Structure 1
Amino acid sequence: MKPFKLFLCALALFGNTHWAQATIASDSEKLFNWAENTFPSVFPSRRATQSIEPWLFRHYPESNIYVGVNKSDNIVYAMGGPWGSNPTVIDSLSNLINYINNSGGSSAIAACDTANTLAGVNYSQSDNVVTVTTSGTCAVVADLSNTNLCKIPEQTTASGISILGSNNVTSSSIEGLSTIIPGLPNPFQAIVDASANVKHCTINAPAAAANLVVNSDLCLDITTPLTATLGSLPVTGIVVTPPVKYYTRGTYTNQVVADCFATDATTITDAFTGEAWVNQDGNFVKVGS
């Protein structure tokens, strides 16, 4: 049953997304991601943000176009292609972020890389409260390794701030999955409930992430990854009646902590270095080591 427990733990992470509010770096990431999503003919590929003081920028070698934010004046510039060989002022970063926010859609959420998010997942934000929902329908999950609801983008500087995010699942249920003996409690529901209220700690998090609150209301069709998982295991006594749907509601809140490694977090990531750790029996083990 261990692989199935791991499957359900991964599923629980849908409600345990990592969020951040606006900083110059996160607003720049938001702008660059939005530009790539909105103008693919101009920015035809996914590019990582580079940092050379005082610039945060992306380079598109196909067209030799540069787009960047000057941190000294918070102005957005472009160069190459239709903008010629000299940096051209586009607008202030704040004006462009306001435009993106008013345009709606998932790209309007600060510091959220939603390029590969699930179809049918909708986002909205009011002050420091973010709502993520499937609006009463079920989003189809094809692969649990690609569950990017909202990931904090890589940070270009080390902030020295650690944020502990706590996920409080208020309700969760699974339809289409049961035991072979009628009337017995579904043990898989208990596993989901135990796995859902996990904590994640982010090192070098954006400063404004401390007071963010995320409310989620999701329905996920997990038939494909579930049947693939069960099909690879010698499991008997489980009845699958497709579609298998996972419903979850909860609230995710952040707080500043002195040291992620002194918390009871389930996982830790460093938003600057990209390193990650998993809590194993009270000890944090580095992923990949």
Structure 2
Amino acid sequence: MKYRTKQLILSACSLALLGGTHFALADTASDTETLLNWAEKTYPQFFPSHQTTQSIDPWLFRHYPEANIYAGVNKHENNAYVMGGPWGNEPTLIDTLPNIINHIADTGGNGGIAACNTANVPAGLVFTQKDNVVNVTTNGRCIEIPSNTNFCETPKQPAETGISVLSASSVATTTWSGITLSIPFDPSTFSASNVKHCTIHAPAEQANLIVNTDICMDMTKQLENQLMPLIAQGLATVTPPITLTTQSTFQSQQVADCFATDATTIYNAVTQEMWIKGDGGFTKINN
């Protein structure tokens, strides 16, 4: 059993060598989070619960007490290991961390976290979590602006959880690059501050959740043509790429009733119904 299980995982990981040239981020800590989150989703029989990553040099690892299994990365070697359960009492090498990260990306694997649905997030975003704090970053790189900029969507829930969560977001900093305007310009018009949203039947992981984002988006395609009239009048100078970097915080707290809050929108994570607040209260906008 031990040999066969090891061979199955080794075979799966070796497929990464046949994939494309996906660029694996050099941040070992972030890649380790991606690997361990993916392992929990892909092999729940070995990693049955979400655990916090621990650090004891040179290891970044998680312990799964239900199965008495350890999984982690040796930072000095940049290799991934497992120990316990079918792998016995000695660390068993699975593959290099870059190879596994490539495999996850090339096969459409989900290396996100339980609190956020990261299945459709654009390439270049890195999610890490410690306790109730999630960090989302592009690691100083700029990605093309996606159609959906909700980077921590609530996963659809299979059953009612009885948990209602009110979330509020605020933008701390907004920085534009590649564009200079000689007319008054308020960058806050491009950022939504103090927006509140409430989720009915949210997953337990979203209660008291804090999401910090440090995102750079390339908006050249979206803005360059629109700015042409201003450029022609000498009111704007563009030096591509045009980028927008924002740092924001998204905080959640459990509430008794979403409809009794000052939320702007309400979402039911089981039925996927949504309401929006108007002058006369909340109005359902879908079935």
Class of the TM-score when normalised by the shorter of the 2 chains: 0.5 to 0.7
Aligned to 2:152, the other structure's residue is in SS state coil
> Which residue is 2:174 aligned to?
172
CA distance in 2, matches of 1:136, 1:218: 8
Contact 2:169 2:248 survives alignment (8 Å): yes
Percent identity reads 41
> Which residue is 1:214 aligned to?
211
> Once the 2 structures are TM-superposed, how far is the Cα of residue 224 of structure 1 from its aligned partner?
2.4
CA distance in 1, matches of 2:249, 2:154: 17
Contact 1:118 1:149 survives alignment (8 Å): no
> Which residue is 1:265 aligned to?
263
CA distance in 2, matches of 1:214, 1:111: 10
Gaps of 5+ in 1: 1-36, 42-68, 70-74, 77-89
**What is the RMSD of the two structures over their aligned residues, measured on CA atoms?**
3.7
Q: 2:189 corresponds to which letter in structure 1?
A: I
> Once the 2 structures are TM-superposed, how far is the Cα of residue 222 of structure 1 from its aligned partner?
2.0
Give the one of 124, 131, 135 matched to 1:131: 135
CA distance in 1, matches of 2:155, 2:184: 40
CA distance in 2, matches of 1:101, 1:148: 29
Check 1:221–1:256 CA distance in 2 against 1; reply closer, same or farther (3 A cut).
same
CA distance in 2, matches of 1:159, 1:101: 31
Aligned to 2:114, the other structure's residue is in SS state coil
Contact 1:119 1:140 survives alignment (8 Å): no
> Which residue is 2:249 aligned to?
251
Residue 112 (structure 1) aligned with residue 103 (structure 2): no
Aligned to 1:200, the other structure's residue is in SS state strand
Residue 198 (structure 1) aligned with residue 195 (structure 2): yes
Aligned to 1:149, the other structure's residue is in SS state coil
> Once the 2 structures are TM-superposed, how far is the Cα of residue 262 of structure 1 from its aligned partner?
2.1
CA distance in 1, matches of 2:193, 2:275: 18
> Once the 2 structures are TM-superposed, how far is the Cα of residue 239 of structure 1 from its aligned partner?
4.1
Contact 2:198 2:265 survives alignment (8 Å): yes
CA distance in 1, matches of 2:71, 2:279: 44
CA distance in 2, matches of 1:280, 1:178: 37
Q: 1:256 corresponds to which letter in structure 2?
A: Q
Check 1:99–1:117 CA distance in 2 against 1; reply closer, same or farther (3 A cut).
farther
Check 1:218–1:149 CA distance in 2 against 1; reply closer, same or farther (3 A cut).
same
Q: 2:48 corresponds to which letter in structure 1?
A: L
Give the one of 276, 279, 282 matched to 1:278: 276
CA distance in 2, matches of 1:131, 1:171: 16
Check 1:38–1:272 CA distance in 2 against 1; reply closer, same or farther (3 A cut).
farther
**TM-score normalised to the size of structure 2?**
0.56
> Once the 2 structures are TM-superposed, how far is the Cα of residue 111 of structure 1 from its aligned partner?
3.8
- Aligned residue-pair number: 196
Aligned to 2:207, the other structure's residue is in SS state helix
Check 1:101–1:269 CA distance in 2 against 1; reply closer, same or farther (3 A cut).
farther
CA distance in 1, matches of 2:15, 2:264: 38
Flag as ranges the 4+ runs of structure 1 deviating above 6 A: 37-41, 98-106
- Describe the superposition over 1:151-196 as per-residue Cα deviations: whole angstroms up to 9, x where unpaired: 22110111222101111211113334565xx2x4204x13124x23
Gaps of 5+ in 2: 1-11, 17-40, 50-63, 74-79, 81-96, 102-109
> Which residue is 1:60 aligned to?
none
- Describe the superposition over 1:204-236 as per-residue Cα deviations: whole angstroms up to 9, x where unpaired: 1123422211111111112224457x49xxxx9
Aligned to 2:140, the other structure's residue is in SS state coil
CA distance in 1, matches of 2:223, 2:13: 34
Higher relative contact order (CA 8 A, sep 6+): 1
Q: 2:117 corresponds to which letter in structure 1?
A: D
CA distance in 2, matches of 1:247, 1:286: 34
CA distance in 1, matches of 2:71, 2:223: 37
Bigger-Rg structure (1/2): 2
Aligned to 1:93, the other structure's residue is in SS state coil
